[in-house]
């Protein structure tokens, strides 16, 4: 049997490009890019296992992507401050080619803000876990991103599943909150005004009947709500509204061993996601419930193939089986290995070694 920790690290190293970018999944054409979201979690996982060199290379790649677009970002900030719309050409993208270029498909839903917040959080974790100083370039890029997020956080954007562009998403706000907070720890700048506004918005607009909802104009949950507490800390781990949310997530998104994204997800039929199952375990571990965290960990370990590859999702207890074949025909087999799945597995596994 393969050692899944070692294999996960090897897979991540193998698919980190020379440029420092982590490819989301090497065998899945539309995932042949580096996402800020996936990359930030992957870098964090590598930091937890002493792979500082790898995470640093990712952060340098991300900083270069940002600094190469400095003029564009400054214009976007200026426009947002004046309340003017920002055209697609003036937005930061959610994913870039491994060389740091814009993707060729302009129609990709690029206006997603959560990954940028996650990157700021991951950069601060890199500093905390490696005890290394953050290079000036990274800090400059991070501050630009923070200014960008500070003026844009209340604009509707695509969510972390790259859907629903007309709404404001709870997870996105949590990631922005976590990112701005993390940068303030690094650069000492007071961003408490924006942080309080984000928190207020979540408390007033994104709670229904005592639990957090997926997005504005919605009464349902989404597994990404886990991020509210871990790692972004927008709400306290013992918040009763979060308890109620967790109960709903368990009841409506766990029909088998793993966790679904949201009740009506039909991507590949809407299966059980490895990275979300690990995320749920991370939340339980943070609440000192190692028994539940352990159950989730063993389920994930059983999903690895004989070479230790973890996919994006397992086509089990599908939300709607009618959608499985059409996706298979359109895009081929489910992405595997997915680096983000390996990263979240590593993060969960680490909780048992602390």
Question: Quick one: 38 or 272, whose CB is closer to ligand BGC?
Answer: 38
Contact residues for 349 (Cβ-Cβ < 8 A; gap 6+): 4, 5, 297
Shortest spacing between CB 216 and ligand BGC, in angstroms: 19
Instruction: Restricting to residues 158-177, name those near ligand BGC by CB under 6 A.
Output: 160-162
Instruction: Specify whether 159 is catalytic.
Output: yes
CA distance linking residue 311 with residue 275, whole number of Å: 9
CA nearest to 81, candidates 172, 174, 145, 147: 147
Read off the tokens for 63. 């900083």
CB 79 within 8 A of CB 85: yes
Binding status of residue 24 toward ligand BGC by CB under 6 A = yes
Cis amide leading into 231 (omega within 30): yes
Question: Quick one: 86 or 338, whose CB is closer to ligand BGC?
Answer: 338
Question: Quick one: 49 or 340, whose CB is closer to ligand BGC?
Answer: 340
In DSSP notation, 154-172 reads TS----TTS--TTS-BHHH
CA nearest to 342, candidates 306, 294, 318, 308: 308
For tokens 């630009």, name the residue. 144
Shortest spacing between CB 283 and ligand BGC, in angstroms: 18
Instruction: Specify whether 101 is catalytic.
Output: no
Binding status of residue 31 toward ligand BGC by CB under 6 A = yes
DSSP H or E segment with residue 243: helix 240-253
Candidate ranges 4-12, 155-163, 205-213, 245-253; the one touching ligand BGC (CB under 6 A): 155-163
Q: How many residues bind ligand BGC (CB under 6 A)?
A: 10
Candidate ranges 69-77, 154-162, 209-217, 248-256; the one touching ligand BGC (CB under 6 A): 154-162
Shortest spacing between CB 228 and ligand BGC, in angstroms: 17
Interface residue with ligand BGC, options 8, 9, 38, 268 (CB under 6 A): 38
Instruction: Specify whether 247 is catalytic.
Output: no
Shortest spacing between CB 190 and ligand BGC, in angstroms: 31
Instruction: Restricting to residues 282-341, name those near ligand BGC by CB under 6 A.
Output: 338, 340
Candidate ranges 7-15, 32-40, 51-59, 167-175; the one touching ligand BGC (CB under 6 A): 32-40
Contact residues for 350 (Cβ-Cβ < 8 A; gap 6+): 45, 48, 49
Candidate ranges 1-9, 57-65, 128-136, 157-165; the one touching ligand BGC (CB under 6 A): 157-165
Binding status of residue 197 toward ligand BGC by CB under 6 A = no
Shortest spacing between CB 35 and ligand BGC, in angstroms: 4
Question: Quick one: 153 or 161, whose CB is closer to ligand BGC?
Answer: 161
Binding status of residue 35 toward ligand BGC by CB under 6 A = yes
Question: Quick one: 47 or 159, whose CB is closer to ligand BGC?
Answer: 159
Q: Out of 38, 47, 114, 159, which one is annotated catalytic?
A: 159
Question: Quick one: 134 or 338, whose CB is closer to ligand BGC?
Answer: 338
For tokens 């799945």, name the residue. 341
CA nearest to 117, candidates 162, 68, 73, 178: 178
Q: Out of 102, 137, 140, 162, which one is annotated catalytic?
A: 162
The CA-to-CA distance between both ends of the chain, in Å, stands at 24
Question: Quick one: 227 or 308, whose CB is closer to ligand BGC?
Answer: 227
CA distance linking residue 139 with residue 123, whole number of Å: 9
**SS3 of 140, please?**
helix
Q: Out of 47, 114, 272, 312, which one is annotated catalytic?
A: 312
CA nearest to 249, candidates 240, 260, 257: 260
In DSSP notation, 246-264 reads HHHHHHHH-SSSSB-S-TT
Question: Which residue ranges make up the site for ligand BGC (CB under 6 A)?
Answer: 24, 31, 35, 37-38, 160-162, 338, 340
Catalytic residues: 159, 162, 312
């Amino acid at each position: 049997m393969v050692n899944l920790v070692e294999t996960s690290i090897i897979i991540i190293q193998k698919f980190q490009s020379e440029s420092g970018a982590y490819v989301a999944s090497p065998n899945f054409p539309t995932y042949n890019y580096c996402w800020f979201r996936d990359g930030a979690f992957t870098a964090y996982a590598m930091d937890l296992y002493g792979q500082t060199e790898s995470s640093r290379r990712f952060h340098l790649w991300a900083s270069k992507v940002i600094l190469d677009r400095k003029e564009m970002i400054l214009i976007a900030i200026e426009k947002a401050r004046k309340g003017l719309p920002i055209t697609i050409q003036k937005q930061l993208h959610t994913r870039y080619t491994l060389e740091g270029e814009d993707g060729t498909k302009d129609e990709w839903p690029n206006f997603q803000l959560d990954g940028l917040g996650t990157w700021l959080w991951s950069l601060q974790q890199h500093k905390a876990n490696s005890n290394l100083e953050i290079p000036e370039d990274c800090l400059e890029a991070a501050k630009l991103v923070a200014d960008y997020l500070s003026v844009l956080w209340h604009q509707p954007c695509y969510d972390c599943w790259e859907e629903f562009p007309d709404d404001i998403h709870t997870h996105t706000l949590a990631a922005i909150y976590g990112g701005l907070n993390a940068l303030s720890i690094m650069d000492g700048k007071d961003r408490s005004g924006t942080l309080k506004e984000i928190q207020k918005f979540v408390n007033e607009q994104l709670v229904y009947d005592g639990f957090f909802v997926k997005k504005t104009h919605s009464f349902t949950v989404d597994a990404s709500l886990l991020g509210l507490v871990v790692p972004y800390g927008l709400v306290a781990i013992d918040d009763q509204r979060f308890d109620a949310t967790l109960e709903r997530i368990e009841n409506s998104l766990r029909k088998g061993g793993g966790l679904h994204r949201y009740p009506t997800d039909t991507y590949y039929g809407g299966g059980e996601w490895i990275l979300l199952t690990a995320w749920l375990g991370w939340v339980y571990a943070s609440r000192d419930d190692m028994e539940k965290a352990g159950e989730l960990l063993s389920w994930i370990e059983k999903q690895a193939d004989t070479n230790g590859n973890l996919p994006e999702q397992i086509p089990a207890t599908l939300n709607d089986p009618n959608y499985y074949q059409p996706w298979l025909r359109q895009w081929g087999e489910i992405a595997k290995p997915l680096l983000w799945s390996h990263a979240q597995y590593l993060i969960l596994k680490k909780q048992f070694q602390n």
